[in-house]
Amino acid sequence: MKLNRIALVAIAALAALLALAPLAMAQAPQRGGILKFTVPASDPPSFDGHQETTFAVVHAVAPQYSLLVRIDPNDPQAKKYQGDVAESWTTSKDGKTYTFKLRKGIKFHDGSPLTAKDVVASFKKIMSPPAPAISPRMGYFTMVDSVTNPDASTVVFKLKYPTGAFMGVVSMPFNWIYKTENIAKDPNWHKKNVMGSGPFKLKEQRLGEKWVGERYADYHFKGLPYLDGFEAIYTTQENVEIQNLRAGNTMIQFRGFPPAARDDLKKAMGDSLRVQESSWNCGLYATTNPFKKPFNDIRVRQALNLALDRWGGSEYLAKIAIVKTVGGFVFPHHALAMTDDELRTNCSAIARTSPPRAPRPRNCSRMRVFRTASNSSSPTAIPRNPTPSWERG
């Protein structure tokens, strides 16, 4: 199933948030200011995006880094790509060679130049991490045969076979470009150190408290960022998040609140708060031990799966939690997502116990994974990061 997240944003944060990316605006954005936001976590487990999977890393650490390419932040359907370190790219006729040309003059925060060598070293670390480093996303790159840098401004990926998944994989927000020398001296160097080429430099980091970034004057997108900096405040206490929003100590919470907390904040803050809801992919897995009775009987596992009514569950849980729209692997209403009729057709082939008149058929195990979509609140179209929800049989 999929989730709907509830993020809450003070209206004062709107201009600052839009300033983070070159979005088209009716009027020129104002420069300056510090964006303060809450991260509902105790701390990043480490600072290495190549080895981590959590929002607790992305929210505060990603602004210090660049990607090769990224999802276009102006495209809410997430179907377009935008060059970051890459200025342009081409694809061979057979779809098996991608050639990226890098922007000139990009510098790491220590003043050293970023070249194709650094891009290649970073992706090699992700695709085949040297011990003792790990890579939770290395399996996504199975289509890649090699990545090379024939010169200082060119990166070439050769694929084993053509696939439309490659650009989506190479643009994942954890694919940060690291300095080659730092990877070489210690594959785990970035777990405790930060050195990137992103729009912000690390200014201060206090464990269990906050992460502060300041504007990088030599950022390769000239004139950006508009913000002077940001401050990510870490806390695991929902009441602290709410108090910070109400007191004006923070401007936004990117993750979400339960519906009751959202409604209480809206009632208390009125027009000074804006709420935005959007779908996102997440999942919590319910698993059984197939080596223990009775779960070693596939019929028992299938029966348990059929007993989970995702449509019915999402209808009632949406009133108290962040689960909502039933979907498949792709979040609802995306161009690649299954329609409701397609979900029901695929489901009915197995879940034949569903009454013909029922508007919400039962869920079936052959679909493998169903997720509930989420409701989110915020005044911008900034893409949401994946977080846990509940899912599947």
Would you call 306 helix, strand, or coil by DSSP?
helix
- Sign for the pseudo-dihedral over CA of 301, 305, 330, 372: negative
pLDDT of residue 208: 86
pLDDT of residue 283: 62
Would you call 347 helix, strand, or coil by DSSP?
helix
Give the contacts of 65 (CB within 8 A, at least 6 positions apart): 49, 176, 177, 196, 197, 198
Distance CA 350, CA 357 (A): 17
What is the residue extent of each domain of the chain? 8-66+197-270, 69-190
pLDDT of residue 178: 98
Distance CA 310, CA 95 (A): 39
DSSP 323: B
**Six token digits for residue 122:** 């970073």
**Six token digits for residue 91:** 């694809």
Which one of 3.30.450.20, 1.10.645.10, 3.40.640.10, 3.90.76.10 gives the CATH number of domain 69-190? 3.90.76.10
> Under CATH, to which class is 8-66+197-270 assigned?
alpha beta
How does pLDDT run along the chain (393 residues), one tens digit per residue? 444 444 444 333 333 343 444 444 457 888 999 999 999 999 999 999 999 999 999 999 999 999 999 999 888 777 899 999 999 999 999 999 999 999 999 999 999 999 999 999 999 999 999 999 999 999 999 999 999 999 999 999 999 999 999 999 999 999 999 999 999 999 999 999 999 999 999 999 998 899 999 999 999 999 999 999 999 999 999 999 999 999 889 998 888 888 888 888 989 998 888 887 776 666 656 788 989 999 999 889 888 877 877 788 888 888 887 777 777 777 777 777 888 788 766 654 444 333 333 333 333 322 222 223 344 433 322 223 332 222 222
Task: Report CA-CA distances (Å) from 60 to 134, 194, 269, 332.
Answer: 21, 11, 26, 28
Determine whether 278 is exposed, middle or buried from the number of CB atoms within 10 Å of its CB (0-12, 13-18, 19+): buried
